A and B are shown apart, each in its own frame.
Chain A
Amino acid sequence: MSGRAAAAITEADLVAYVDDRLSTERRADVEAHLVLNAEDAARVAAWQQQADDLRAHFSRESDEPVPAEMAALFAAQRPSVLGPVLRIAAVLALVLLGAGAGWYGRGAFTPAGVVAALPQEATRAHLVYSREVLHPVEVTAKEEQHLVAWLSKRLGTTLKVPSLSGQGFGLVGGRLLPASSGNHTAAQFMYENRQGQRLTLYVRSGESGGDTSFRFTGEGNAVAFYWIEDGFGYALTSETGRDALLPVARSVYEQLTR
């Protein structure tokens, strides 16, 4: 031992020594103690052997296949967990549609007053669907062509789906959504990176305010970049904060306005 006076070695030290949770300094103290104390040394050696045996013993147990009824829990998750959220979203959408239709007649024109602001509507949709585990999208990226053709038809434009692989995000898929503007339809494309972070690109038709530049809005981590072009509103939303989303949003903007 060095000139430093070491505190007495306790049972907890021996436990932590075996589990390799001691500081280098304390570890040296324990080792010095074990040299002089045969009983503790035998105890520690037995514990170490035991720890190896236990790891081998338990590692055999983890190789078994997952029983079907457990796997089924993940398939059955949507109605039990997100059912209420989806219902609330549906009710909200109906209320918005109802207000628009009821107040302004047949919805023949777009009343500026009831059209929810683009980033708010996009963020609301993002928060609902980005939390979905099993059904984040209606049509997956496996059927990308079908997805794009379908949503293009419903929105009445030719949609382009930007590639964000350069930013580490892959397309998960997309879905059709109700909107408070235009022909009441919007499209949402969802992307995800390897860390499971999701962002959504929201496109809705019938923007009446004229083109806008590239804009930012958000509070805390829920942020959105958005712009309006040729009557279509675009919003890219994530919960990653402004700085992380900016380069991705710039790429989307460049790809879509090119």
Chain B
Amino acid sequence: MLFRRPPHPIEAEIPRLRRFALALTRDRETADDLVQDCVARALAAWATRRGDDAALRPWLFTILHNRWRTRQQREWARPDRISLEDAGEGPEVSGGQWEALELRDLDAALAKLPGDQRAVLLLVGVEGLSYEEAARVQNVPTGTVMSRLARARDRLRALMDGEPPQASEGSGRAHLRRVK
């Protein structure tokens, strides 16, 4: 009788974990490092895990999110390094034309959102998590998930339309650019 062992359930989630990590970090190497960390922890906790198959994805996302948070805190504690988000988005561009052109690109627009907003867009809009599940992953109330979604969508819309971005929840800095 031939019966192939199916791959570990976590293995099938790796592509999703990688893109969630990428949405959080915006850097492939950092993202994969995060996924590596997440998977190792998930495997170590596997034997004691409670919950059915449907709960697997939110569980993994939560581990990954927690690892990201921990790393961010560590990063912030180091005076010689600041996170990309705090550092801003590279050289300031002047005027609206160039920016408008650049920001029509969805990827560039996403890059200007804070990690938590990119994450919630992905978790709810792409991965199909419920608001409650996304709230558990991000460790915030459900209402915050919904307002965060509204902020993220409005900001992304403004960026895609080439409008100056507005200050947004959780971004840690205000975007006060003068409207011409």
Contact = CB atoms under 8 A, between A and B. Distances in A.
A43 B125 contact: no
Contacts of A66: 11, 14-15
A211 interface: no
B6 interface: yes
A138 interface: no
A61 interface: yes
Interface stretch (B63-71, B147-155, B166-174): B147-155
A80 B46 CA distance: 12
Contacts of B11: 66, 71, 74
A64 B18 CA distance: 9
Contacts of A165: 1
Looking at chain A's contact residues, is the secondary structure mostly helix, strand, loop, or mixed?
Answer: helix
Interface stretch (A49-57, A92-100, A175-183, A246-254): A49-57
Looking at chain B's contact residues, is the secondary structure mostly helix, strand, loop, or mixed?
Answer: helix
A47 B156 CA distance: 9
A21 B130 contact: yes
B32 A163 contact: no
Rank and list the top 9 A-B pairs by shortest CB-CB distance, nearest first: A170-B3, A62-B15, A61-B19, A12-B146, A46-B157, A58-B126, A47-B153, A171-B1, A15-B149
Given A15-B149, A54-B126, 13 more contacts: A19-B124, A46-B153, A59-B126, A66-B15, A69-B36, A73-B40, A74-B43, A82-B47, A131-B47, A142-B2, A192-B3, A192-B5, A196-B6
Interface of A: 11-12, 14-16, 18-19, 21, 43, 46-47, 50-51, 53-55, 57-59, 61-64, 66-67, 69-71, 73-74, 77, 80-82, 85, 131, 133-134, 136, 140-142, 144, 163, 165, 170-172, 192, 196
